[in-house]
A and B are shown apart, each in its own frame.
Chain A
Amino acid sequence: MLDSLIGFSILLLLILVFRVPIAFAMGLVGITGFAYLQGLGWDNVFDFRWTGPIALAANRIVDTSQEYSLSVIPLFILMGNFVTKANLSGELYRASNAFLGHRKGGLSMATIVACGGFSAICGSSLATSATMAKVAMPSMRKYGYQDGLASASIAAGSTLGILIPPSVILLIYGLLTETSIRELFAAGFLPGLLGILLYLAAVRYVVWRHPEYGPSAEKANFSERVAAMRNVWGVLLLFCIVMGGIYLGVFTPTEAAGIGAGGAFLIAVMRRSLSWSAFFHALIDTGRTTAMLFTVLIGALIFSDFITMAGLPDELLAFVKSLHLPPMGVILIIVGIYLVLGMVFESLSMILLTVPIFYPLVQSLGFDLVWFGIVVVVVTEISLITPPVGMNVFVLSAVLDNVKAGTIFKGITPFWCADMVRLGLIVFVSSIALVLPEILYR
Chain B
Amino acid sequence: QTIRVASWLPPTNPMNAVVIPEWGKAISKATNGRLKVEIVYGMGHPKSMWNLVEDGIVDASYSYHGYVPGRFELPQVVEQPGLGTNAEAASYALWNTYQKYFAKSHEFDGLKLLALFTHGPGQIYSNFPIKDIKDLENKKIRIGGGVQSQLADRFHITPVGAPAPKVYEMMQQGVIDGAFLPVGEMKTLRLAEVTKDLTLFPNGLYMGSFSMFMNPDVFDDLSKQDQEAINKASGEVLSVLAGKAWDAGDVAGLQSAREAGVKIHVVKPNSTLAKEVNQRIDNVATEWVKGVDKKGFNGDAALSYLRETAMQYAAKHKE
Among B44, B45, B168, contact of A181 (Cβ-Cβ < 8 Å): B168
* Complexed CA–CA distance, A15 and B166 (Å): 34
Q: Contacts A55-B55, A55-B57, A180-B193 given; indicate if A249 touches B42 (C-beta within 8 A).
A: no
B291 interface residue per 8 A CB criterion: no
Contact partners of B168 in chain A: CB under 8 A: 171, 174-175, 181
Please determine whether A181 and B43 come into contact, CB atoms closer than 8 angstroms. no
B10 interface residue per 8 A CB criterion: yes
Contact partners of B194 in chain A: CB under 8 A: 182
A382 → chain B closest CB, angstroms: 21
Q: Contacts A49-B56, A51-B56 given; indicate if A246 touches B44 (C-beta within 8 A).
A: no
Tell me the B residues contacting A by CB distance below 8 Å: 4, 10-12, 40-45, 47-48, 51-52, 55-57, 165-166, 168-170, 172-175, 188-190, 193-194
Question: Within residues 29 to 75 of chain A, which ones have a CB less than 8 A from any CB in chain B?
Answer: 34, 38, 49, 51-52, 55-56, 59-60, 63, 67, 69
Please determine whether A55 and B193 come into contact, CB atoms closer than 8 angstroms. no
Q: Contacts A171-B168, A175-B165 given; indicate if A52 touches B173 (C-beta within 8 A).
A: no
A352 interface residue per 8 A CB criterion: yes
B214 → chain A closest CB, angstroms: 14
Please determine whether A168 and B169 come into contact, CB atoms closer than 8 angstroms. yes
Q: Contacts A60-B44, A63-B48, A305-B43 given; indicate if A252 touches B175 (C-beta within 8 A).
A: yes
Please determine whether B173 and A253 come into contact, CB atoms closer than 8 angstroms. yes
Please determine whether A59 and B40 come into contact, CB atoms closer than 8 angstroms. no
Contact partners of B173 in chain A: CB under 8 A: 166, 246, 249, 252-253
Contact partners of B47 in chain A: CB under 8 A: 63
* Complexed CA–CA distance, A49 and B44 (Å): 23
* Complexed CA–CA distance, A422 and B165 (Å): 31
A30 → chain B closest CB, angstroms: 11
* Complexed CA–CA distance, A49 and B174 (Å): 47
Greatest chain A CB density within 10 A among B11, B47, B165, B169 is at B169
Please determine whether B40 and A309 come into contact, CB atoms closer than 8 angstroms. yes
* Complexed CA–CA distance, A176 and B11 (Å): 6
* Complexed CA–CA distance, A131 and B12 (Å): 38
Contact partners of B4 in chain A: CB under 8 A: 309
Please determine whether B56 and A181 come into contact, CB atoms closer than 8 angstroms. no
Other contacts beyond A182-B193, A250-B174: 13, CB < 8 A: A55-B57, A63-B44, A166-B169, A171-B168, A174-B190, A175-B168, A182-B194, A249-B175, A251-B175, A305-B43, A308-B42, A309-B40, A356-B41
* Complexed CA–CA distance, A182 and B193 (Å): 7
A37 → chain B closest CB, angstroms: 11
* Complexed CA–CA distance, A356 and B40 (Å): 10
The 9 A-B pairs with the shortest beta carbon distances in the complex, nearest first, are A249-B174, A352-B42, A55-B55, A52-B56, A252-B175, A175-B10, A178-B12, A56-B57, A182-B193
Contact partners of B41 in chain A: CB under 8 A: 176, 308, 352, 356
Contact partners of A304 in chain B: CB under 8 A: 42
B164 → chain A closest CB, angstroms: 10
A353 interface residue per 8 A CB criterion: yes
* Complexed CA–CA distance, A352 and B172 (Å): 22
Contact partners of B44 in chain A: CB under 8 A: 59-60, 63, 301
Contact partners of A60 in chain B: CB under 8 A: 44
25 example contacts (A-B, Cβ-Cβ < 8 A) are as follows A52-B56, A52-B57, A55-B52, A55-B56, A166-B173, A171-B168, A174-B168, A175-B165, A176-B41, A178-B10, A178-B11, A178-B12, A178-B188, A180-B193, A181-B172, A181-B190, A182-B194, A248-B174, A249-B174, A249-B175, A308-B43, A309-B4, A352-B42, A353-B42, A356-B11
* Complexed CA–CA distance, A356 and B190 (Å): 17
Kindly supply a per-residue 1/0 record for chain A positions 178-221, scoring 1 wherever the CB is within 8 Å of any chain B CB and 0 otherwise. Answer: 10111000000000000000000000000000000000000000
* Complexed CA–CA distance, A356 and B8 (Å): 12
Question: Within residues 293 to 312 of chain A, which ones have a CB less than 8 A from any CB in chain B?
Answer: 301, 304-305, 308-309
A349 interface residue per 8 A CB criterion: yes
Please determine whether B190 and A180 come into contact, CB atoms closer than 8 angstroms. yes
Count of A interface residues, CB-CB < 8 Å: 38
B121 → chain A closest CB, angstroms: 23
* Complexed CA–CA distance, A353 and B40 (Å): 9
Contact partners of B56 in chain A: CB under 8 A: 38, 49, 51-52, 55
B124 → chain A closest CB, angstroms: 19
Question: Within residues 11 to 26 of chain A, which ones have a CB less than 8 A from any CB in chain B?
Answer: none
* Complexed CA–CA distance, A309 and B58 (Å): 9
* Complexed CA–CA distance, A60 and B194 (Å): 31
A256 → chain B closest CB, angstroms: 10
A42 → chain B closest CB, angstroms: 22
* Complexed CA–CA distance, A34 and B57 (Å): 9
Contact partners of A55 in chain B: CB under 8 A: 51-52, 55-57
Contact partners of B175 in chain A: CB under 8 A: 249, 251-252
Greatest chain B CB density within 10 A among A59, A171, A174 is at A59
Question: Within residues 236 to 261 of chain A, which ones have a CB less than 8 A from any CB in chain B?
Answer: 246, 248-253
Contact partners of A248 in chain B: CB under 8 A: 174
B171 → chain A closest CB, angstroms: 9
Smallest CB-CB separation from B12: which chain A residue?
A: A178
Please determine whether A59 and B174 come into contact, CB atoms closer than 8 angstroms. no
A361 → chain B closest CB, angstroms: 14
* Complexed CA–CA distance, A249 and B57 (Å): 39
Contact partners of B57 in chain A: CB under 8 A: 34, 52, 55-56, 59, 305
Please determine whether A308 and B40 come into contact, CB atoms closer than 8 angstroms. yes
* Complexed CA–CA distance, A250 and B172 (Å): 11
Contact partners of A56 in chain B: CB under 8 A: 52, 55, 57
Contact partners of B190 in chain A: CB under 8 A: 174-175, 178, 180-181
Smallest CB-CB separation from B4: which chain A residue?
A: A309
Contact partners of A182 in chain B: CB under 8 A: 193-194
B194 → chain A closest CB, angstroms: 8
Please determine whether B193 and A181 come into contact, CB atoms closer than 8 angstroms. yes
Smallest CB-CB separation from A172: which chain B residue?
A: B165
B18 → chain A closest CB, angstroms: 15
Contact partners of A59 in chain B: CB under 8 A: 44, 48, 51-52, 55, 57
